[in-house]
Amino acid sequence: MTELIDLSEVAGQAGKFDCFLEQVRDRFGFDHVAYLGSNPVAGTMHGYVTYPEEWKRHYTHQAYHLIDPTLRIAQRSIAPIDWSRIEQSDNFRLVFCAAREFGISDRGVTIPVRGPFGDTGMLSVTRDTDEHEWRAMIAHSIGDLQSIAVHMHDAVMNSDAFSNVLRRTPLSSREIEILQWTAAGKTQQDIADILNISHRTVEVHLRSAREKLFSLTTAQAIARAIAQHLIYPI
Amino acid sequence: MIIVIDAANRHLFEDILDDMYRLRARVFSDRLGWEVTIENGREIDRFDHLDPLYIVGLDVEGEVISCVRLLQTTGPHMLSDVFSAILDGEAPLRSSRIWESTRFCVDTARLSREGADTTVSRATCELMVATLETCRDAGISDIITVIDPVMNRVLKRSDNAPYDYVGTVKPMGKVSALAALLDCTDERIGRVRNFAALHDNVVLTDAAALELRPVTAQNGLKNREVTVLPGQTSSVALSPVIGLGHVPG
């Protein structure tokens, strides 16, 4: 995950969301990556895409976001929605025939995110390729894409100052304890031995702690935990 | 066999879900004595209104024999609210890679009767395999599941023991409840498949499930003509998401 910008590190930097999506695209070899999120607390919607300008204009002008079946279904889904699973409705054909003219494939997947306050996000990736390669690509990247989707969503939602305060999730004693040992230089196996829990339990709590601190990396999570006086600097 | 139902296909399987709510009423209210809300013989709570993912087991006659419900831990879910006592006041895990599974149950009465076509153990393993595989394929690394001690023993016996527990065991109705962690690795899936000798795909396609349930097929086809997913024709894009808007917290 180290190649990607940690969005929590570059607060306020213009263009960071576009840049992040371009990095995701290049790292996994997708044609395009798009994020759309809605923040009901602030009453705002946010969209960031790597699509060509002409498609963005056409999509907005035709108001495709009102009928785009990938968004309609994914918005209510828990699991990632592969676009091949979506019923071939009139709207599906309308949006994807137009997309094809702009060189955008109908092979894609949309990963839904649900936040704590009714906020939702959707990260979509697409690539014009055959079925076999597509399946392999997604099987390889889907776990990272889940983390990336939530990281992007949290960063976008938290760009609203009120939401940033509201959306802070408390850490559990165990998460804080594990962060503290990590800050002290202990490995996950060391920590598992010290706390007499499984290695995987350490890993799961560390991942949860990172996400609660809106960080992609453990280093950034520790920096934030120290800044928030959750743990002591060592 | 297993069917996976979510917002994308639930309009085809409303009557399977209806039977599932009835099974949950029999298990969680009648048998386990949990304080759940029963209406017209169905156990439905507010998390069912959040478009969760259901994994539902059917026997050869197409009757619902098992079910479980999955929700993301980044959004509203049971451990962050209803089951918070289990966590002793501690904050729940929140991760893009962990889903919460709740309302895990099997129709032991139906499966213990004479002439049942499968066993409780096998039905439980099928449900677990389908759940673990669905999670794995979605990029989920771990499941946190709220279960009772009986289900915990069943998991252990099926070579599917939780690798750890979070919080402590808390009394709930006639029994108690606890939160267990399960990894969705190929290794675990292999162990459970091996234990129950499940070698084939356990998840039915929508088409195969409709065939197994003639009633569902009729409803499904009928629904197909008239049902529009809520929001599909709405002129407001991305209104604060359907079902989530009115949930406190």
In order of A47, A84, A165, the CA distances from A209 in angstroms are: 27, 35, 17
Domains located in chain B, CATH noted: 2-226 (3.40.630.30)
Q: Is A120 helix (H, G, I), strand (E, B) or coil?
A: strand
- Calculate mean pLDDT across residues B61-87: 92
Range 11-50 of B in CB contact (< 8 A) with A: none
How much is the pLDDT for B230? 41
Phi, psi angle pair for B158, to nearest 5°: -90, 20
Q: What is the pLDDT of residue A224?
A: 93
For residues B126, B127, B130, B135, the Cα torsion angle rounded to the nearest 10 degrees is -150
Classify B44 in phi/psi space as left (phi over 0), alpha (psi -120 to 50) or beta.
Answer: beta
Residues of chain B contacting A114 with CB distance shorter than 8 Å: 72, 74-76, 241, 244
Number of residues that this document lists for chain A = 234
* pLDDT, position A13: 66
| CA-wise closest residue to B20 among B213, B151, B222 | B213
List of chain A residues whose C-beta atoms are within 8 Å of the C-beta of residue B11: none
Residue A172: DSSP 8-state? P
Note whether A45 contacts B: Cβ–Cβ < 8 A: yes
Contact B71, B51 (CB under 8 A): no
One DSSP character per residue, B79-126 reads TTTTTGGGGTTPPPP--TTEEEEEEEEE-HHHHHSTT-SS-HHHHHHH
**pLDDT at site A8:** 67
Q: What's the Cα-to-Cα distance from A216 to each of A7, A114, B26, B64, B143, rounded to whole Å?
A: 8, 18, 44, 41, 21
Per-residue b or e along B144-162, where b marks 16 or more CB atoms closer than 10 Å to that residue's CB: bbbbbeebbebbeebebeb
Residue pLDDT, tens place only, B3-62: 999 988 999 999 999 999 999 999 999 988 888 999 999 999 999 999 999 999 999 888
Residues facing residue A32 across a β-bridge? A126
Do the chains contact at B87 and A172, CB–CB below 8 Å?
A: yes
Q: With a cut of 60, say whether residue B225 has pLDDT above it.
A: no
Q: Indicate the angle between helix axes A173-183 and A199-212, nearest 10 degrees.
A: 100
In tens, the pLDDT along B130-156 reads 999 999 999 999 999 999 998 899 999
**d(C-alpha B244, C-alpha B58), whole Å:** 29
How many Cα atoms within 13 Å fall on the side-chain side of residue B34?
Answer: 21
Separation between Cα atoms, residue A152 and residue A20, nearest integer Å: 8
CA-nearest residue to A192 within chain B is B164
Residues 74-93 of B with CB under 8 A from A: 74-76, 80, 87, 90-93
Are the Cβ atoms of B139 and A81 closer than 8 angstroms?
no
Average pLDDT over residues B145-170: 93
Question: pLDDT tens string for chain A (234 positions)?
Answer: 445 767 766 656 668 899 999 999 999 999 999 999 998 888 888 889 999 999 988 988 888 888 888 888 888 999 999 999 888 888 889 999 999 999 899 999 999 999 988 899 999 999 999 999 999 999 999 999 999 999 999 999 998 888 888 888 899 999 999 999 999 999 999 999 999 999 999 999 999 999 999 999 999 999 999 999 999 987
Calpha distance A39→A163 (Å, rounded) = 8
pLDDT at B242 over 80: no
Q: How far is CA A189 from the centre of its chain?
A: 28
Helix (H) or strand (E) holding B146: strand B142-147
The full set of domains in chain A, from first to last, is: 16-164 (3.30.450.80), 170-227 (1.10.10.10)
Mean pLDDT, range B160-175, rounded to an integer: 91
Contact A72 B91 (CB under 8 A): no
Q: What would the two tokens of residue A213 be?
A: 């601190």
Indicate the residue of B87, B183, B237 with minimum beta-carbon distance to A66: B237
pLDDT reported for residue B214: 67
Average pLDDT, chain B: 85
Q: Is B40 exposed, middle or buried (0-12, 13-18, 19+ CB in 10 A)?
A: exposed
- C-alpha span between A220 and A217 (Å, rounded): 5
- Window 102-131 of A, Cβ < 8 Å to B: 111, 113-116, 118, 120
Among B144, B161, B141, B143, which Cα is nearest to B152's?
B161
Min CA distance, B115 vs chain A (Å)? 36
Average pLDDT score over residue span B155-184: 93
Instruction: Write the Ramachandran bin of B113: left for phi over 0, alpha for psi from -120 to 50, otherwise beta.
Output: beta
The token pair at A70 is 């990938």
Q: DSSP 3-state assignment of A13? A: coil
**CB-based contacts of A221, cutoff 8 Å, min separation 6:** A179, A206, A209, A210, A213, A215
Query: Quick one: pLDDT at residue B221?
Result: 47
- Angstrom distance (rounded) from CA B198 to CA B130: 11
pLDDT at B219: 56
Within an 8 Å CB–CB cutoff, is residue A81 touching chain B?
A: yes
- B89 to chain A: closest CA residue: A172
Contacts of A26 (CB under 8 A, 6+ apart): none
Give the pair of three-digit tokens for residue A148: 């990336």
- Residue A14: the pLDDT is 66
CA distance B147 to B170: 11
* Six-digit token string for B209: 């499930």
In this complex, is the C-beta atom of A42 within 8 Å of any C-beta atom belonging to chain B? no
Using CA atoms, how far apart are residues A78 and B51, in angstroms rounded to an integer?
8
- Window A:16-35, CB contacts with B under 8 Å: none
